[in-house]
Every structure is written in structure tokens, then in C-alpha cells.
């Protein structure tokens, strides 16, 4: 990306903070199609005057991204105005009919961003919390002003009466506006027979407000806790907003997925090509599939020989050729450079993609971070403990004084001082700090409860193609290219540039260092089942099967592609899947950390074994030739709520649903990330181990926060039960406990903490 920024004179991207966090990930161009752009282009062409269009954008994360897209926009003829919203991941543009939409999208996507139809919605949860938090913060500030005057000695008079009544009114407003968030959540949880941490918060708010009202009516303002309660509600809302905000930011980074409804196909009707939704495809329809298009139904190839990639279906790393009349399965990607004609053999209603790409349940939001079994057990203990202590306090004081008002005042004090600040404020902050740290290193958590579930993970299972590997082939013996003379190297280049075969592309990459250009005088042909042949300068060059290229050449079983001229052997190439740069190191590190690491692939057993061996896995932990359904059954049999599955293809979707936790590097299409707990955008696998490690550290920090809260509650509850906890003391002690837990949390999880400093993973 640095070279591209320099080439385009856009280096200011770095001055504005670009690349200090997660940089736009590079995606696979062979999986990108632009069918969805055609309808937008048609609308722009037909517009009278300026046209207003919107796109969702994947990869926006900072002001540098905004600046970069704006600069590219202004370089295109016909531009007018553009608004880039990184919080939502959306771009709104006003353009003239002569604006080249496709060229603009292509220019931006070169930097790793992805464009899509506008499908994202403004998150309702955080939008609702923002105004509630604003109201409750204003209420708390004014309530404290009135409370300070009373604590300072104001005891009577019109101003005293006004302040006390205003405090009562403000308390009612805070409970209605802010408390209702926790009341609603607690009721929903109870209807589902769950006890979540919103229940003790809701109980504390309701009972404390009721007790304060009773004390206000019977004993005067000196025994009411409205100001403290108002501050507590504002703090709880701030914690809730933190939880919602970080998850929404992570989701906004990706394009939205609306399941199979977003799939488009080119259907030939009366000699014309129309873009239609895949759901409209029927058996017998004629389809045109261009390079990079996804085939949404099983279809029969009607044209000449074509190449399709099946890695999303069965994990095969090498594209497969199909001959006329053969059935190409749904989920295949057109891998060649031409458009192919096929006839649908089944309607989309019977396509296997419907099950694999079905829209999953909405990802868990902020509350889910505190709805795991561990948090539910804590909530039960907390609720029972608070109610028991409050009941004992009420009973003991009533028995001793026969004064209901006094006993209720003690109970109110107990409820106020035991408000769960530790997990209402410090815990959300801890989750925010961990997720922000992971985001800086390229991993984005989509489901908040992943960090809770990650603590129990002891087994990590990787898919092969596109996960442990990059999904592409490379030449493992590039010295074979260097040994060729310039004329033979030119002939080899002319051969591979005329082929879409992955092995040809791998050899082409090995030739990139020689700055060659394709010769217009050379004429090459493909010999089906054997390889490529080219006549140049009266000589016949061949690239393909060793026995066909040179029958008398070396018989090295590792050489899978040979190059020769007139039957004479010139070079032999060994191609293999390109491992992610840190795959071997990370697999070894995970094993060293005590994790049981497996490979589960739909590719052949031989290829699975080869990648597993290169990654340092034990032979018995490498499993190949598994269909999507067999992958899912394997996960069901092996997972004991302790397995993380990492995959990238459509064939991995069912396995993700069965795993205790799941992740993916596949962000070029939104279907897989939509059902994963996290996605990562780095070339390597390092963020996965960091996520598992940070989950363990997070658990330690939360437990430390709870220990601080326990010590605080032991002190304050003792004072409350002894009748020595006044509203003033409570107003001082509760914020102090919050500050202590927040300080401990920040010290343990901030960017300067040992968790991130001792990590080998650096921000890009």
C-alpha cells in the first residue's frame, strides 16, 4: 500500500494517522464482481442534472481514510460533493452524469477498501443510549448541585424546599429515562428464564428510588439518596454505551450482509443480459458468468472449456477445468478471464447456497458480554446476596426500633451502596479496552460475548485454503526461473500470461522481478489435459505435465510443472500453497501455550497433510476430504464448549455454527464474517493468539475489579447496617469506588499496559 500511496502522491494519508490502527485489508480480486454497480451506473446515466448515490464502504476506520477517499473523488471528472461517514461505513456522493462511477470505485478499492450497495442501518441501540445518557448526565449534574447545597448546611426556607423537590423530580426523570433501559432488559431476561447483570442494576434502581421517596416523605430530604442514584444511573448508562459502541464500530468496518437476497446473476433474456436477484433464477435459465462472478445455482456449461474455483465449496486450492456439458456446482467462482454461458439445472430455491448463506441470527450486542454462564452465576449470587443483606437489615432495625421509616432508610442505604459499579462501569470499560487493542492489531470482535467464551477454549481448528494459506499458489523453487536465459524466460512469460490456471499465475509471479512484457508475435494454444504450447521463432515451447513437455526429462515426483522447447527439458517447477507468513510460528506458539491445534479441510488428504506438515502440525491432526456437512458433524462430535474454528469459505459456514467460537479472515464477501465471532484483516494469524491471551487477561482484570468491589461493599454495607451511612457519605464513597476500579482497569488494559507491550504483535 505504501508504494501505491507514493505513486498516487497521497502520502499525507500517513500524516493524518493512517496505518497506525487497522489498515484497509487487501482482498482477493478473483472473488470480487461488479454486477451490483451496473444498475447504479444506469441510474446515473439517466439522471437529469446531478445524481445522488450512496455506497457502503468496508475498511473505514479513521480520518486518514476519509481524506484518502475524498482526494480520489476530486480527481474524477464530474464530481460535486462527497460525505464519508466512518462511524457508519458509508459514502454519500453528488455527481454529474459524466462521472465514471466504476472508475472511482476501482480507484478506491485498489487501496484495500470495498464498496457495496447501501445496506447498513444507523445502529438503533447506541442512538437510543446517546440521548438517554445525555439527559441522565444533565440530571445528575444538576442533582449534585442541589445536593451540595443541602450537604453544606441549607436546612430550611424556600430555596431548600425548591431544591429538595427538584431533586425528587430529577430522580424520577433519571429513573424513567435511564432506569427503563435496565428494567426492560431485566424483564426480557426473566421471561427467558435468565438472570443477567441488568437484573441487580434494575432492582437496585427501583428499590433505591422507592426507599428514597419513602424517606423523603416521612423523614425529609436528609435521608434521601436522589443525587447519588442519579449519578449511578448516568454511570451505568455510560458503561452500557461503551459496550454497544465498540461492537457497532467493528460491524461498521465490514460491508453489511443481507444473506442470499444480495446475490445477483446475469440472466440472458431474448438475446439481452439482465441483472436479476438469484432468487429469481429458475431451471432452464441461461446465465452469463463473468470473471470473478459467483455461480448461485448448479448449471451446465454451454460454451468452450472454462475454469472455476471451488475453494469456497470444498476447500480445493486449485481451480478446476470444466468441459462443455459438465455441471458446475453452485458456489463456484469463475476463475478465467472470459465470460461463460451456462444453463441453470435447478432453481435457486433448491440451491445448496440457500442453506450455507442463510442470514444468521443477529449478533449479540452489548448485553451478551454479560450474559455468559459465568456472568449469569455472578448475577444470581449478587442478586441473592443483596436481597438477603437488605432484608436482614430491614428486619433487624425494625425489630430493634419498631420504626418502619428508619428500617426502610437503612435498607435504602444498603441498596445504594451495593450498586454494582464494578461490573456496570469497570467491566464495560475493560471490554472496550481489550477490543480496541485487538482492533489496533487487525482483529475485530463482532460478538461481545466471544471474549467470555474464549477463556474456555483449549482447541483451535483451522481450515486450510484461505485460512492457514493465502488461497494462492507460489513457486517454491524460484531459482529455476533465474537459471533460464532471457529468450526462454520471455517464451515462458508469453505462455503464462495467456493462461488463467493458478499454476501459470504462480510462475507469472516468479517472473515479475524480470520486468517482461508480452510479445505480440507469439501464438499460444492450450492442449486440454496436458498444458500450454507456444510457437515462437520457429521453436515449440511447452509448459505443463513433465512427461508431455519432455518424455525423456528428469522424473522428480516433486516437480509438477515442466517447461521445455522442442522436447528438450529446460526447467521444472514445484508449486505449493502459500502459507500465511507467520503460520508455522503461530501454530507452534499455540501448541506451546497448551492449545490442541488441528487442520480440517475439504481439499485432498495429500494437500491437507502437506500444509499441516509445513505449519508444524502432527499428521494425525490433519484431516482432509470433508464436505461442509462432514465438517459440521466433526465439530459437533469434538467440541465440548472448548473449540475455536477458523475458516474462510462457504463450506465452513455450517462448521462455524457448530463451534463454541469462530473466526475468519474472509472479508471480501460478507456472508462468512456475518456468522463469525471475530474477523481479522492481517496477512498473518498472530491476532488469533493475542485474542485468546487477552481474553484470559480480561478475566483476571474483571476478577480484580470484583475484588475491589467486594472490599468496598464489605465496608459500606457494614456502615449502612450500623446506621452510619448518610447520603453525603454515600455520595462520596460510591464515586471513589468507581474511580478505583476504573484506574485498576486502565492500568491493566490500556495501550501502555504489559498485555500489549509484551506482545510480539505490533500495530501496522
Cell of 447: 460478538
> In the predicted model, what is the mean pLDDT of residues 595-612?
90
Identify the residue whose cell numbers are 497448551: 594
- How far does Cα 525 stand from its chain's mean position? 44
pLDDT at 762 over 70: no
> In the predicted model, what is the mean pLDDT of residues 310-318?
64
Q: Which residue has the higher pLDDT, 215 or 72?
A: 72
Predicted pLDDT at 387: 80
Predicted pLDDT at 382: 78
Predicted pLDDT at 636: 92
Residue 308: φ, ψ to 5°: -135, 145
> In the predicted model, what is the mean pLDDT of residues 181-193?
84
> In the predicted model, what is the mean pLDDT of residues 299-317?
76
Least confident of 132-136, 304-308, 691-695: 304-308
Least confident of 135-139, 143-147, 220-224, 494-498: 220-224
pLDDT at 634 over 90: yes
How does residue 410 score in pLDDT terms, banded at 50, 70 and 90? confident
Predicted pLDDT at 407: 81
Cell of 601: 479441510
pLDDT at 304 over 80: no
Whether the full predicted model's pTM is greater than 0.75, yes or no, is: no
How does residue 55 score in pLDDT terms, banded at 50, 70 and 90? confident
What number of other Cβ atoms are within 10 A of residue 757's Cβ?
8
Predicted pLDDT at 671: 63
> In the predicted model, what is the mean pLDDT of residues 555-575?
88
- Give 701-735 pLDDT, tens digit per residue: 988 888 888 888 888 888 888 887 766 677 677 77
pLDDT at 111 over 60: yes
CA angle 501, 505, 508 (to 5 degrees): 140
pLDDT at 34 over 90: no
Sign of CA dihedral 69, 74, 77, 78: positive
What number of other Cβ atoms are within 10 A of residue 355's Cβ?
12
pLDDT at 763 over 70: no
pLDDT at 742 over 90: no
Identify the residue whose cell numbers are 442533582: 143
pLDDT at 675 over 60: yes
Cell of 58: 468496508
Which DSSP string do the residues of 116-138 spell out, in sequence order? E-S-----HHHHHHHHHHHHHHH
How does residue 125 score in pLDDT terms, banded at 50, 70 and 90? low
Residue 272: φ, ψ to 5°: -115, 155
- Give 92-110 pLDDT, tens digit per residue: 999 988 899 989 998 888 8
> In the predicted model, what is the mean pLDDT of residues 175-187?
89
Indicate the pairing of strand 340-344 with strand 286-289: antiparallel
Q: Which residue has the higher pLDDT, 174 or 275?
A: 174
**CA dist 652 to 12, 373, 645, Å?**
40, 27, 9
Please, are residues 292 and 307 in contact by the beta-carbon 8 Å criterion? no
Predicted pLDDT at 693: 93
Residue 557: φ, ψ to 5°: -65, -20
pLDDT at 357 over 70: no
pLDDT at 9 over 60: yes
Mean residue pLDDT of the chain comes to 81
Least confident of 265-269, 544-548, 727-731: 727-731
Please, are residues 394 and 403 in contact by the beta-carbon 8 Å criterion? no
Identify the residue whose cell numbers are 532471457: 486
- Give 512-533 pLDDT, tens digit per residue: 888 888 776 666 677 766 788 8
Domains and CATH numbers, the chain: 2-118 (3.30.70.100), 124-252+364-431+696-757 (no CATH), 259-356 (2.70.150.10), 443-470+579-681 (3.40.50.1000), 477-573 (3.40.1110.10)
- How far does Cα 477 stand from its chain's mean position? 36
- Give 230-252 pLDDT, tens digit per residue: 888 888 888 778 767 766 666 66
Predicted pLDDT at 527: 74
Q: Within 47-111, where are the H helices? A: 63-74, 101-109
- Edge-first strand order for the sheet with 596-600 is 443-445, 678-680, 661-664, 643-646, 459-462, 596-600, 622-623
Amino acid at each position: 500500500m505504501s508504494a501505491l500511496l507514493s505513486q498516487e502522491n497521497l502520502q499525507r494519508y500517513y500524516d493524518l494517522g493512517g496505518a497506525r490502527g487497522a489498515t484497509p485489508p487487501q482482498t482477493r480480486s478473483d472473488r470480487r464482481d461488479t454486477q451490483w454497480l451496473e444498475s447504479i451506473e444506469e441510474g446515473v446515466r439517466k439522471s437529469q442534472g446531478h445524481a445522488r448515490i450512496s455506497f457502503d464502504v468496508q475498511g473505514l476506520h479513521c480520518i486518514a481514510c476519509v481524506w484518502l477517499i475524498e482526494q480520489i473523488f476530486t480527481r474524477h471528472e464530474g464530481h460535486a460533493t462527497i460525505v464519508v461517514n466512518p462511524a457508519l461505513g458509508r459514502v454519500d456522493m453528488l455527481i454529474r452524469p459524466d462521472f465514471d462511477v466504476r472508475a472511482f470505485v476501482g480507484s478506491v478499492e485498489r487501496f484495500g477498501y470495498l464498496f457495496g450497495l447501501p445496506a447498513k442501518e444507523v445502529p438503533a441501540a447506541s442512538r437510543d443510549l446517546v440521548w438517554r445518557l445525555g439527559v441522565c448526565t444533565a440530571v445528575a449534574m444538576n442533582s449534585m448541585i442541589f445536593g451540595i447545597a443541602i450537604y453544606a448546611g441549607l436546612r430550611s426556607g424556600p430555596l431548600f424546599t425548591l431544591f429538595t423537590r427538584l431533586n425528587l423530580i430529577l430522580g424520577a426523570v433519571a429513573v424513567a429515562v435511564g432506569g427503563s433501559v435496565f428494567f426492560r432488559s431485566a424483564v426480557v431476561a426473566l421471561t427467558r428464564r435468565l438472570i443477567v447483570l441488568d437484573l441487580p442494576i434494575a432492582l437496585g434502581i427501583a428499590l433505591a428510588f422507592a426507599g428514597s421517596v419513602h424517606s423523603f416523605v416521612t423523614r425529609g430530604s436528609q435521608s434521601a439518596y436522589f443525587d447519588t442514584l442519579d449519578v449511578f444511573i448516568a454511570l451505568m448508562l455510560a458503561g452500557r454505551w461503551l459496550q454497544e459502541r465498540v461492537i457497532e464500530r467493528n460491524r461498521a468496518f465490514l460491508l453489511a450482509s443481507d444473506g442470499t437476497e444480495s446475490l445477483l446473476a446475469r440472466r440472458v433474456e431474448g438475446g439481452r443480459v439482465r441483472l436479476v436477484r438469484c432468487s429469481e433464477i429458475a431451471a432452464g435459465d441461461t446465465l452469463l458468468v463473468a470473471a470473478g462472478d459467483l455461480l448461485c445455482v448448479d448449471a451446465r456449461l454451454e460454451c468452450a472449456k472454462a475454469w472455476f474455483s471451488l475453494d469456497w465449496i470444498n476447500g480445493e486450492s486449485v481451480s478446476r477445468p470444466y468441459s462443455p456439458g459438465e455441471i458446475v456446482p453452485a458456489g463456484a467462482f469463475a476463475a478465467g478471464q472470459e465470460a461463460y454461458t451456462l444453463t441453470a439445472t435447478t432453481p435457486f430455491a433448491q440451491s445448496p447456497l440457500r442453506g450455507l448463506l442463510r442470514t444468521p441470527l443477529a449478533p449479540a450486542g452489548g448485553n451478551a458480554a454479560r450474559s455468559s454462564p459465568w456472568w449469569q452465576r455472578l448475577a444470581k449470587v449478587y442478586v441473592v446476596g443483596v436481597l438477603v443483606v437488605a432484608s436482614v437489615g430491614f428486619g433487624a432495625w425494625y425489630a430493634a426500633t419498631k420504626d418502619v421509616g428508619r428500617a426502610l432508610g437503612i435498607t435504602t442505604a444498603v441498596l445504594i451502596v451495593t450498586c454494582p459499579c464494578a461490573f456496570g462501569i469497570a467491566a464495560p470499560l475493560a471490554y472496550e479496552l481489550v477490543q480496541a487493542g485487538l482492533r489496533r492489531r487487525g482483529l475485530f470482535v463482532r460478538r461481545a460475548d466471544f471474549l467470555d467464551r474464549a477463556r474456555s477454549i483449549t482447541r483451535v481448528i483451522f481450515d486450510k485454503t484461505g485460512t492457514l494459506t493465502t488461497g494462492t499458489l507460489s513457486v517454491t523453487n524460484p531459482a529455476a526461473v533465474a537459471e533460464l536465459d532471457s529468450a526462454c524466460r520471455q517464451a515462458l512469460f508469453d505462455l503464462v500470461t495467456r493462461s488463467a490456471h493458478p499454476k501459470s499465475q504462480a510462475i507469472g509471479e516468479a517472473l515479475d522481478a524480470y520486468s517482461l512484457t508480452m510479445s505480440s508475435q507469439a501464438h499460444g494454444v492450450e492442449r486440454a489435459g496436458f498444458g500450454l504450447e507456444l510457437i515462437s521463432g520457429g521453436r515449440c515451447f511447452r509448459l505443463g505435465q513433465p512427461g508431455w513437455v519432455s518424455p525423456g526429462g528428469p522424473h522428480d515426483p516433486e516437480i509438477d510443472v515442466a517447461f521445455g522447447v522442442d522436447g528438450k527439458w529446460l526447467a521444472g517447477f514445484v508449486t505449493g500453497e502459500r502459507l500465511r507468513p507467520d503460520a508455522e510460528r503461530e501454530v507452534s506458539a499455540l501448541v506451546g501455550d497448551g492449545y490442541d491445534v488441528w487442520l480440517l479441510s475439504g481439499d485432498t488428504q495429500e494437500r491437507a497433510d502437506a500444509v499441516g506438515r509445513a505449519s508444524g502440525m502432527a499428521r494425525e491432526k490433519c484431516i482432509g476430504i470433508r464436505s461442509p456437512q462432514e465438517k459440521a458433524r466433526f465439530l459437533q462430535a469434538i467440541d465440548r464448549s472448548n473449540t475455536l474454528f477458523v475458516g474462510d469459505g462457504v463450506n465452513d459456514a455450517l462448521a462455524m455454527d457448530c463451534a463454541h467460537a469462530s473466526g475468519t479472515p474472509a472479508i471480501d464477501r460478507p456472508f462468512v464474517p456475518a456468522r463469525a465471532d471475530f474477523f481479522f484483516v492481517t496477512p498473518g494469524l498472530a491476532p488469533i493468539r493475542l485474542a485468546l491471551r487477552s481474553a484470559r487477561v480480561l478475566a483476571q482484570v474483571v476478577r480484580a475489579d470484583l475484588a475491589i468491589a467486594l472490599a468496598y461493599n464489605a465496608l459500606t454495607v457494614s456502615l449502612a447496617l450500623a446506621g452510619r451511612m448518610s447520603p453525603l457519605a454515600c455520595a462520596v464513597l460510591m464515586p471513589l469506588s468507581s474511580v478505583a476500579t476504573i484506574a485498576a482497569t486502565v492500568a491493566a488494559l490500556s495501550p501502555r499496559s504489559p498485555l500489549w507491550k509484551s506482545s510480539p504483535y505490533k500495530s501496522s
